[in-house]
Amino acid sequence: MRFYFGPNHYQTLKKFENLSLEKLIPLGWGIFGWVNRFLVIPTFNFLNSFSLNYGIIILILTIMVRIILLPLTYGSFKSQAKMKVLGPEMNEIKEKYGSDPMKLQQENMALYKRAGVNPFGGCIPGLLQMPILIAMFRFFPASIELRQQSFLWAHDLSTYDSIFDFGFHIPWYGDHVSLFTLLMTVSTLIYTKMNMQMTAATNPQMKWMMYLMPILFLGFFNSYSAGLSYYYFLSNVFGFGQQFLFKAFVDEDKIHAQIQENKKKPVKKSSFQARLEQMAKEKAAQSPKKR
Cα 52 from Cα 149, distance rounded (Å): 11
Residue 108 lies in a domain: yes
Q: Are 222 and 173 in contact (CB under 8 A)?
A: yes
Residue 11 lies in a domain: no
pLDDT in tens, 67-100: 988 888 887 787 777 777 777 777 777 787 767 7
Query: Is 135 or 107 the better-scoring residue by pLDDT?
Result: 135
Q: What is the pLDDT of residue 85?
A: 76
Q: What is the pLDDT of residue 84?
A: 77
Residue 166 lies in a domain: yes
Residue 290 lies in a domain: no
Residue 289 lies in a domain: no
Q: What is the pLDDT of residue 233?
A: 93
Residue 287 lies in a domain: no
Cα 289 from Cα 8, distance rounded (Å): 71
First and final C-alpha spacing in the chain: 79
Residue 87 lies in a domain: yes
Residue 130: domain span = 26-253
Query: Is 290 or 147 the better-scoring residue by pLDDT?
Result: 147
Q: What is the pLDDT of residue 89?
A: 77
pLDDT in tens, 160-208: 999 999 888 888 888 999 999 999 999 998 888 877 766 544 455 666 7
Q: Does the predicted model carry a pTM greater than 0.85?
A: no
Residue 265 lies in a domain: no
Residue 271 confidence (pLDDT) above 80: no
Q: What is the pLDDT of residue 197?
A: 63
What is the overall mean pLDDT for the chain?
80
| Nearest CA-CA partner of 136 in 240, 29, 27, 46 | 27
pLDDT above 70 as % of the chain: 80
HSE toward the beta carbon, residue 97, CA cutoff 13 A: 12
Most confident stretch, 26-30, 113-117, 272-276? 26-30
Cα 200 from Cα 196, distance rounded (Å): 5
Q: What is the pLDDT of residue 201?
A: 47
Query: Is 121 or 4 the better-scoring residue by pLDDT?
Result: 4
Report the number of distinct structural domains present in the chain. 1
Q: What is the pLDDT of residue 273?
A: 57
Q: Are 154 and 161 in contact (CB under 8 A)?
A: yes
